[in-house]
Structure formats: C-alpha cells, structure tokens
Structure 1
Amino acid sequence: MIRRLFSSAKSSGEYAKVKLISSSNVSKDTRLFTFTTPPSLPPSLPLTSCIRVRLQGDVERAYTPTREDSETFDLLVKRYPRGKATSHFFDLKNGDTVDVAGPFRKFEFDCKRHREIVMVAAGTGITPMAQLLRADVGHNFCASSSGSASAKGAQSKGEEDVEAVDGARYTLIYANRTEDDILLRDELQHLASLQPPRLSLHLSLDSAPPNWSGNEGTITQEYLASLLPKPPAAGEVSPIVLVCGPPGFMDAVCGNKVSPQEQGPITGMLGNLGWTNDSVYKF
C-alpha cells in the first residue's frame, strides 16, 4: 500500500512570512511567483513534498515549488474564476508577504520498490510530477543516493553528467486545454530526451493545432487504458499511478480526495479499470 505521510501545517510546522520578489505571466491564466526563502525551508525539498501557503487569514492551499534554493523559491499558480486563493495570489504586489509552512511529504517514494510509475496530470498539477522527474530522471537521484527520498544533493549533480541507469520507468500523461497552456514544456521534453527509455511523455490537448502529434480531445478511459500497465497483483507495490489536477479532472480520472488528509475511494476512469487505493495516490 502507498504510505501516506501528509500532515497538516497546524500540527507539523510553524508559519513564516515570505516576501514576493517578482511575478510574471507564463500563460493567459497562470503566473510564476518568486518569494524569499524562509530559514525554515530547506534549499532542496524532500521528494513528493509540498509547502502550505496562507493568504489573508484562513485561506490556505498546498503548492509544490517548481524551483527552490537558499534565497528564493518559485510557485506556479493558475487563476480560477471562483478560486479564493488564486484571487489573492493574483492581487499580490512586489513586497507583499504571505505565510508559508512546511515542507510536508505527500507519500513515501521508495527507489527500490517503486519501479514503474504512471503520472496523470492537468494544468498546474504538473508541479509535483516535475519535482520527482527532475530529481530522478534529470539527476539519477535513486542511483546516486541511498533512496531516502530527499532531493538534497541530487539537484547539485550537473545534467551533463547524467547517464542512463536501470532506474524507475515513468509514463507522464499531461492534459491541457490548448498548446499555450502546457507548463514546463521545454523542461519536460528535455527530461524525456535525457533517458528516453525511462520517461515516456504523452501530451494531450482539448483543442489541438494543425499537425499536433499528441492526443486530441479530453482524456478518455480508452486513452488511459492504452497507456496504463495492468494494476499490480495483490501484495505488489508497483506499478503506481500518481494523479494531480483541478477538481473536475480529478473527479473524472480517480475521484477527488475527501479532505487534504483523506484520499477517498478510487472512482472514475481508474476505478473502472481496476485500480485501487493500494496503487493510486491523489496529490
């Protein structure tokens, strides 16, 4: 069974104020925010971890930084029409502060046990997937560490030194509305080119341009079935499926979480295909 390690900020960490240094648009409704790094946040986050951000009192959300070091960290935030947190984010000006706590591990990634991993993401749901791919495919984390699932040290290895290793195999299925909405595209394609046998990248667009080579239209159960391995047999821990995206996407693919701490049953397309909580994790 996938081990859940997520715990709330209230019980596992103190909040620290961080200052917004800059922000820039990366798509029509997504912006990259750069904040100062608090002393409580390590320069390299543990793999599959997030931080919690508190804006204007009780509005809290979990985010996975797309980059972090000892001085600054970046967050990708997409604006949703009725989203409280995203509205506050997009109103921030340089010099404004927010409260952050963490990091908090989401689930326990085990280099030795998790050998086949399928990632199904939409929109900014790509950020936790990119965190793991960057460390393991980009820097051979599992080959260069004891497998303790900490990214510290793994990100210091230059990409020019990366060699193909017999590590975990990843399939990334990434859905967006249009081609302009694809976040971190250059990095994902670069990672796929570093070790082609280890990362298979599949881009899907609701509305695709002419000569688009990926999937066109919303993700269907048939499309997922064509890319997914069979669910693991009883007692096995691999393959696993990681899912992250907006509520409508999560509902269709695997069902939404009951709460930040409770996964809830596996429903939707994955449930129909025989996947269970033993082998699916919802970010």
Structure 2
Amino acid sequence: MSFVRAAASARATRVNQFAASARRYASTEPGAQKSSNLPLILGGAGVAGLAGYIYLNQFGTKSTAAPAAGAGKSYTPATNTTSPLDSSKFIDLPLKSVEDYNHNCAVYSFGLPDGQAALLPVASCVYLEASENHPNALRDEKGKPVHRPYTPVSPSDYPGEVKFLIKRYDDGKMSQYIHSLKPGEPIAIKGPLPKIKYEINKWDEVGMIAGGSGITPMYQIVNYALSDPNNKTKFTLIFANVEERDILLRDDFEALKKKHPDTFNVIYTLSKPADGWKGYKGYVNKEMVMQHIPPPSLGEKAKVFICGPPGQVDAVAGKKNGMKQGPIGGILKELGYTEEQVFKF
C-alpha cells in the first residue's frame, strides 16, 4: 500500500492560497551485519517528548504531499487559513473510516468540520484522548482520561479529515482503545503540538534513525521536504523493525527513493529477519551510523533525528529527560555528535 501520490494541481493551488498568509519553514541494500548488543525494544509510543505548546503561525503549514490513505487520487486542498483544532483544549472528532494496513496497524481517518484541513505545521503532532461523549471512554487507574501523542500521515492541507497510521500494541491502552473504535464514534484531539521547526535547506544533510511506529514524524518531515522543488538537503533514514512485515510506509519510502535518488536513501534493519533477508540484521549499531548518518564533523550543516521506543533512543542517543531532550549519550555521543546536532522526538 503506497501513500505517495502525484498531486501537481493541488500543489499549485495551495501555493497560491498560502503565498500571502503562510510562512514556509519549512543504493543497493547493504550486506548483512553483525547484531549489536545494544537494546532495541520495538514497542511503546511512536512519538514523545514535547516541550510545550507553540502557536500555529510560528511554523510553516504548507504541504505539497499527496493524500495518505489509499485514495490514489489527487485532491483539492482546503481553503481555510486557520486550523479547526485547538492546542489548548480537546475537541471531539468523529471516526470516518478505518483502513487495515498490516497485521497490527490501520489507518484511522477522523472528520474535520466543513471540509476544513488540520493545517498542522511540520514538524508537529497532536494528542488523542478518549472522548467524554463515548460510553466506554478509556480512563486510567485514577479515573483520568488517557491520552497519547500521534503524528498524522495526511498532508497539512488535506480537506475534511486527518489520518493516523496507528499500531496496536498488546500492552498499549490507548492503541487498543483506538483500534476498538467504530466509524461514527468520537475521539478527542488537541493540537497542534509543535516539536521542532523544520526549515527547508537549513541543513545540508539530515540523518534519521527510527524504530517501529516512531517512523511517522520522519515520514512527515521527509515527505514535506522532498516535495519542495527547492530542497537540496540530503536525507538518509535507518529504519529498524522486528520482522519485515512490520516495516511501515515501505512503499512510500521506496517511491521517494526512486523519485529523489540524490536526496533520499532508506536502509532497513531487522532484529528477527526471515531466511533470505538481504538487508541489515540486528539493532542499530555504531557501524550503521558511521556508514549512513552524516558525520559530526559537518557541524551545524548536519542534523540527526531519532524517534522510537525508549530502549532504542537510550542506546543510540541517550535518555530523554521527561519533556526535555536530556544529555547526548549512547552511540551518537561515542561518535562525537553534539547536543545541538541531535533531536529526540
């Protein structure tokens, strides 16, 4: 299933609509490698670590990406210039549709009022929470609502709905709850919650390291950047999963790699590969980083993004400190990267 679609007419329309009002901020498979003994726990939330709420107009919102969920067609961008979402409170949105993606993931589309677009800046996410208007609203042990951050896979200007690729975890209360929802039932959403302001061509090279469902913010950024004809930044993504069937958005990344061979590459590694797998085997290790991620010697011309389960983030870049980035650690510290060069989602 591919989410990458051509939408030239939509891009041209959106450029004209936002020109006066929006600020734009933005290979062959390697041989098998020995597994690292560093932990990679491919479970947990795909997005975490938000510094706080920042107003929408501080970030760029213009998207030139195509629709994300099997539509296979170009679309007419929404014309609203302010987001119907609210970063200070939860509002209810109805579930419009559910599209199975793989053995434990599905695309959930939630309706936006009056055909409006979410206008989420890049890079940002939202909180999803069980609605108080749902008869079986999810609550924690203290009776408080459970909420989790998720990054949409639909473009910022997509009309009438916002889409999420959500993985169901056996021990994930929120993901289990969302997977139990039926079309027409509500979810509460709060956002946008900006993470890092992405600006086109701010860096010469960007390295991305992701695990499991931590791929969604990487997809948001790289799809946004590569759709800009002025982009010169080179992106390299190392994507770690358990099995081959767990690789999310693979068709999309392969399409982007084919379309932008000079500015995008993706490398996969599996901790439990099947016989015949020709990519990397094992967890993300020092050798992979040294071979594929831009070196720290590039200084301010390089940036490394990482998003994944805590075990992976800790091993590669050091633990986050709650809502803060925390000191650099792990593989990246060993290799000489600075805190300014690394961002942990």
**Map of 2:179 onto structure 1:** 90
- Which moves more between the two structures, 26-35 or 205-214? 205-214
**Map of 1:140 onto structure 2:** 228
Which blocks of at least 5 consecutive residues in structure 2 are unaligned? 1-48, 55-85, 131-137, 139-143
Question: Is 1:251 equivalent to 2:317 in the alignment?
Answer: no
Q: Give, in whole Å, the separation in 2 of the partners of 1:272 and 1:203.
A: 22
Q: Give, in whole Å, the separation in 2 of the partners of 1:117 and 1:218.
A: 20
Match of 1:181 among 233, 239, 246: 246
- Which moves more between the two structures, 183-192 or 76-85? 76-85
Q: Give, in whole Å, the separation in 2 of the partners of 1:179 and 1:50.
A: 26
Question: Is 1:128 equivalent to 2:221 in the alignment?
Answer: no
**Map of 2:44 onto structure 1:** none
Question: Is 1:265 equivalent to 2:327 in the alignment?
Answer: yes
Q: Give aligned pairs, total.
A: 252
Amino acid across the alignment from 1:246: P
**% identical equivalent positions:** 32
TM-score (norm 1): 0.81
Amino acid across the alignment from 1:37: L
Amino acid across the alignment from 2:150: Y
Q: Residues 113 and 131 (structure 1 numbering): CA distance in 2 closer, same or farther, change over 3 Å?
A: same
Question: Is 1:26 equivalent to 2:88 in the alignment?
Answer: no
Q: Residue 118 of structure 1: SS of its match in structure 2?
A: strand
TM-score (norm 2): 0.67
Question: Is 1:280 equivalent to 2:345 in the alignment?
Answer: no
User: How far has the Cα of 1:105 moved from its partner?
Assistant: 1.6
Equivalent residue runs for 1:194-233 within 5 Å: 194-232=259-297
RMSD: 2.4
CA contact 2:53–2:194 (8 Å) conserved in 1: no
Q: Give, in whole Å, the separation in 2 of the partners of 1:194 and 1:207.
A: 30
Match of 2:146 among 59, 62, 66: 59
Kindly name which structure, 1 or 2, has the bigger radius of gyration based on alpha carbons. Answer: 2
Amino acid across the alignment from 1:215: Y
Q: Residues 39 and 124 (structure 1 numbering): CA distance in 2 closer, same or farther, change over 3 Å?
A: farther
Q: Kindly indicate whether structure 1 or structure 2 has the higher relative contact order, using CA contacts under 8 Å at least 6 residues apart.
A: 2
Q: Residues 90 and 23 (structure 1 numbering): CA distance in 2 closer, same or farther, change over 3 Å?
A: same
Spell out, residue by residue over 1:96-140, the C-alpha distance to the aligned partner (whole angstroms, 9 max, x if none).
111111112211222242221001011111111111111221x12
Which segments of structure 1 move beyond 6 Å, counting only runs of 4 or more?
A: none
CA contact 1:6–1:107 (8 Å) conserved in 2: no
Q: Give, in whole Å, the separation in 2 of the partners of 1:45 and 1:172.
A: 23
Q: Residues 112 and 28 (structure 1 numbering): CA distance in 2 closer, same or farther, change over 3 Å?
A: closer
Q: Give, in whole Å, the separation in 1 of the partners of 2:250 and 2:201.
A: 28
CA contact 1:178–1:205 (8 Å) conserved in 2: yes
